[in-house]
C-alpha cells in the first residue's frame, strides 16, 4: 500500500480489482495505466488456492492487449504456484514437486499439468509485454528472469526497500540476546541450517511456525506485534537469516541492520544484494517517490 499512497500523493487516482479478501473486479479501459501487482498470488490455504483464477482470461487478456501496464511483483507468485519456490530458482520444464497424488491441492489450483508455472504463456506475457517490471531486490530480479528464461529481457526497475527508519534505529540498549530470527519459522526460511548451527546457542525466534513445523530448540516468542520488533532487535547482538530459497527481499534483515545488529546471512537474501550499505538510513529515503518518477517517465 505504500506504493498506492505515494501515487495518490502525486495526484493519481486509483480503482482497484482484487479477488481476496473480497472479490471486486472492475476494469477501466480509459485509465492511463494498469498497475499489475502479484496477479497470481494467493494465501497458502486450501480455501484460497487458485483464487487468482477469478481474474478470468478475458480480464487478463484485456490488460495485455491494451498494452498500458507496469508489473510489480513482491515475491515469486507470478512465476511459481507452489509456496516458497521449492526449486530455489533452479527451474526445469517439469516441476519436481508437483504430483498427481496431491489431489485436493491440484483441484483447488485447477492445475494437473506437472509443468513449471513459468512455462505458461499467460504468465510470461505479464513480464515480456509489460512497459516496466518492478522487482524488490537485485536478487529477486535475477532469480525471476532466470526462471522465465525470456528471449528478450524486459525493462526493469528495482524498488528500494520501504523501511521506516524512525522506528528502526539503534537505541543503544543492553544486548542480552545472542542470536535473533524474526519471520515465519520454517524450512524455506532456513530452519534446518539454524538448527544445525545454533541448536546449542542462545537463539530467539519471533514469528509464527509454518504449518507442520516443530522447533525444539531456542526460545520461541511466538508472533510478536510489529511495534515491538524494534526493541527486540535492539536487544540482539546478531540477527540470523539463512533462507533456503532466494528471499525476494527480507525487509527484516534491513530493519535489523538499522537497529545495529550484526548480520549472519547467506547469499540467498535479497536485502544484502543491494549495492549499498543497508545499515545506513540515508539509503532508504523516498523509495516510492523514486518509483513513481520512473513509472511516469516510462509510461
* Residue ranges of domains in the chain: 2-159, 177-284
What is the predicted pLDDT for the residue at 181? 98
195-204 average pLDDT score = 97
52 confidence band (pLDDT: 50, 70, 90): confident
Residue 132 vs residue 46, higher pLDDT: 132
Whether 83 shows a pLDDT value over 70: the answer reads yes
Q: 10 Å Cβ neighbour count for 219?
A: 12
Please, how many CA atoms are within 13 Å of residue 214, restricted to the half-sphere of its CB?
1
17-45 average pLDDT score = 83
CATH tag for 177-284 (out of 3.40.50.2300, 3.30.499.10, 2.60.40.790, 3.40.50.2000): 3.40.50.2000
Measured CA to CA, the distance from residue 207 to residue 249 in angstroms comes to: 17
Which residue in 118, 84, 86 sits closest to 99, CA to CA? 86
Cβ distance 255 to 236 under 8 Å? no
Q: What is the pTM of this model?
A: 0.93
Which three cell numbers mark 227? Answer: 511495534
Highest mean pLDDT pick, 23-27, 97-101, 138-142: 138-142
**270: DSSP letter:** G
- For helices 2-9 and 287-298, give the axis angle rounded to 10 degrees: 70
What is the predicted pLDDT for the residue at 51? 77
Model confidence pLDDT, tens digit, residues 57-75: 899 999 999 999 999 999 9
Least confident piece of the model among 29-38, 49-58, 99-108 = 99-108
What is the predicted pLDDT for the residue at 114? 86
Model confidence pLDDT, tens digit, residues 166-177: 999 999 999 999
144-164 average pLDDT score = 91
Least confident piece of the model among 28-37, 40-49, 75-84, 134-143 = 40-49
CA 32 to chain centre: 27
Mean pLDDT of the chain: 92
- Torsion angles phi and psi, residue 67, rounded to 5: 70, 25
Whether 133 shows a pLDDT value over 90: the answer reads yes
Amino acid at each position: 500500500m505504500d506504493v498506492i499512497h505515494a501515487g495518490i500523493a502525486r495526484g493519481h487516482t486509483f480503482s482497484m480489482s482484487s479477488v481476496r479478501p473480497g472479490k471486486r473486479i472492475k476494469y477501466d479501459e480509459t485509465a492511463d495505466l494498469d498497475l499489475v501487482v502479484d496477479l497470481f498470488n494467493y494465501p497458502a490455504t486450501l480455501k484460497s488456492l487458485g483464487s487468482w483464477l477469478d481474474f478470468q482470461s478475458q480480464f487478463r487478456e484485456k490488460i495485455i492487449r491494451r498494452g498500458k501496464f507496469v508489473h510489480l511483483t513482491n515475491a515469486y507468485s507470478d512465476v511459481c504456484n507452489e509456496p516458497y519456490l521449492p526449486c530455489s530458482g533452479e527451474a526445469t520444464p517439469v516441476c519436481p514437486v508437483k504430483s498427481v497424488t496431491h489431489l485436493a491441492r491440484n483441484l483447488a489450483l485447477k492445475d494437473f499439468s506437472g509443468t513449471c508455472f513459468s512455462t505458461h504463456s499467460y504468465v510470461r506475457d505479464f513480464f515480456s509485454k509489460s512497459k516496466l517490471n518492478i522487482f524488490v531486490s537485485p536478487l529477486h530480479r535475477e532469480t525471476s528472469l532466470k526462471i522465465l528464461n525470456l528471449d528478450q529481457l524486459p525493462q526493469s526497475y528495482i524498488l528500494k526497500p520501504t523501511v521506516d527508519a524512525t522506528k528502526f534505529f539503534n537505541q543503544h540498549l543492553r544486548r542480552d540476546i545472542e542470536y535473533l530470527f524474526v519471520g515465519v519459522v520454517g524450512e524455506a526460511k532456513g530452519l534446518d541450517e539454524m538448527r544445525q548451527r545454533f541448536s546449542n546457542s542462545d537463539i530467539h525466534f519471533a514469528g509464527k511456525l509454518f504449518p507442520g513445523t516443530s522447533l525444539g530448540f531456542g526460545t520461541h516468542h511466538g508472533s510478536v506485534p510489529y511495534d515491538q520488533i524494534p526493541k527486540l532487535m535492539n536487544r540482539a547482538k546478531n540477527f540470523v537469516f539463512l533462507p533456503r530459497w532466494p528471499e525476494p527481499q527480507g525487509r527484516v534483515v534491513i530493519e535489523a541492520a538499522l537497529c545495529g545488529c550484526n548480520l549472519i546471512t547467506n547469499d540467498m537474501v535479497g536485502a544484502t544484494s543491494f549495492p549499498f550499505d543497508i545499515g545506513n538510513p540515508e539509503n532508504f529515503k523516498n523509495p516510492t517517490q523514486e518509483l513513481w518518477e520512473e513509472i511516469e517517465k516510462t509510461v
